[in-house]
Amino acid sequence: MAGTLVELTPQQISAFAAAEPPWLVERRLKAFAEALEMPLPRSKQTSIETAGFVAPGLGQAPAVSIGHVGDGAEIMDLGTAIAGGRAEVEEHFGRLFAEEGSRLSALHLATFAGGVLCKVGRGVELTEPLQVALDLQGGSLFAPHVLVVLEEGARADLIVELRGEAGSEVAVRGAVEIVLQDAAQLNYTEFQRLPGRVQIHWQRRADLGRDAKLHWILADVGARLAVADTRTYLRGDGAEARVLASFFGGRRQHFDFNHVMVHQGQHSTSDIEARGVLQGKARAVYNANSVIRKNAKGASGWQHEHTLMLSDEARADLIPELEISEWDVSAGHAASAGPVDPMQVYYMESRGIAPVAARRLIVAGFLASLLKGIPLADVRDRIADIFQEKVEL
């Protein structure tokens, strides 16, 4: 195992957080005490016991690059926000993880370092996307936290990119928390293109108020081991959430993704669409769960997960689930994983199309339906280009 929690002490955490306000030090120590009592999550498909992100070390802060920020919006380094006494951080930080009973969630809250606070004010409708890059290089264990708060009626697009230095061998234990107040709308796009020796555990959480709308647009193509857990709580009536997830693994990459939609409000709707491509000896485990709580009348939750296999040695495990505790709802799922149709390749090659070009055309066609749902043309084009670049012979 990469380490035990005994190696880290409350005294070390207190010293690490010495410059932070008392409420945050208390929250860190509480999370650490909880982590001591929790086992590591277990998976038949993915072993994380020796992964670098399991180690109980104190996190390092990434360098943060911030792009255009429109009027009515704020983006700042999370450490700066904490030092400045921003009320949003004290109110929301860690709240969506606090009662989950997850060792890695608790360990992250105890040892996080750096990250970003993004806030969009009440009724503000941004016309240009907000952009943030986290540079995860020059260290061994990064633990950033991204906190996004949209006040009532706000609308925004946010693009977050996780970057690393080629050849670097680092571990990442990070988190994203999104809070959408009533009628707020957010398109959250995330690009993960970390180098091939990185191991990352990335958690995403969102809380949606009445009539709030969230689109997760996720593209994962990097890292040797990438484990991501995304949970959306549709708390308000009429809340709407959608996941458009894409992934492309090659060589011996291993992906383990989990998407959960928790319907608590009435007439809330969710949709999960995932499309992945695997080549070489890559493996992907994709879990999706639509949870409809009691009294969430009129809720609707749907899932579609499909994986295209470009090699005989690639493997995909697709595990859709439904947990329904209310009668007046609609829900369903569909999942498939299969190889390229050899007749398609033969047809294109017989007309002079090179094998790698044929595979790229097939990948483009496979991805097309997912890309249509992405509102920003630049994001659509970028995901398409990333997938084309990764196709091998």
> Where residue 13 falls among pLDDT bands split at 50, 70, 90?
very high
Q: State the burial class of residue 131 (Cβ atoms within 10 Å of its Cβ: 0-12, 13-18, 19+).
A: middle
Tell me the angle at which helices 342-349 and 355-371 cross, rounded to the nearest 10 degrees.
Answer: 120
Q: What is the pLDDT of residue 165?
A: 86
Q: Does pLDDT of 166 surpass 70? A: yes
SS3 category, 345: helix
Indicate left, alpha or beta for 308 from its phi (over 0: left) and psi (-120 to 50: alpha).
beta
Q: What is the pLDDT of residue 242?
A: 98
In Å, how far from its chain's centre is CA 195?
A: 17
Gyration radius of the chain's alpha carbons: 21
d(Cα 208, Cα 181) in Å, to the nearest integer?
Answer: 6
**DSSP code per residue over 223-275:** -SEEEEEEEEEE-STT-EEEEEEEEEE-TT-EEEEEEEEEE-STT-EEEEEEE
Secondary structure in 3-state letters for 163-216: ECCCCCCCEEEEEEEEEECCCCEEEEEEEECCCCCCEEEEEEEEEECCCCEEEE
Indicate left, alpha or beta for 263 from its phi (over 0: left) and psi (-120 to 50: alpha).
beta
Q: Does pLDDT of 4 surpass 60? A: no
* 191-247 residue pLDDT tens: 999 999 999 999 999 999 999 999 999 999 999 999 999 999 999 999 999 999 999
d(Cα 350, Cα 344) in Å, to the nearest integer?
Answer: 10
CB 134 within 8 A of CB 144: yes
**Which two tokens mark 220?**
């994962």
Q: What is the pLDDT of residue 41?
A: 79
Q: What is the pLDDT of residue 1?
A: 36
> Where residue 393 falls among pLDDT bands split at 50, 70, 90?
low
Q: Does pLDDT of 284 surpass 60? A: yes
In 10 A of CB 124, how many CB atoms?
18
Q: Does pLDDT of 102 surpass 60? A: yes
- Amino acid, res. 296: A
Q: Output phi, psi for 315, to 5 deg.
A: -145, 140
Q: Break the chain into its structural domains and give their ranges.
A: 5-339
Q: What is the pLDDT of residue 372?
A: 94
Q: What is the pLDDT of residue 341?
A: 87
* 294-352 residue pLDDT tens: 999 999 999 999 999 999 999 999 999 999 999 999 999 999 999 988 888 888 988 89
Q: What share of the chain is helix, strand, coil (3-state, %, to 5)?
A: 20, 40, 40
Q: What is the pLDDT of residue 254?
A: 97
Q: What is the pLDDT of residue 2?
A: 42
Distances (CA, A) of 53 to 60, 73, 115, 276: 12, 32, 17, 24
Q: What is the pLDDT of residue 106?
A: 93
- Amino acid, res. 209: G
**Which two tokens mark 76?**
């700042």
* 120-157 residue pLDDT tens: 999 999 999 999 999 998 888 999 999 999 999 999 99
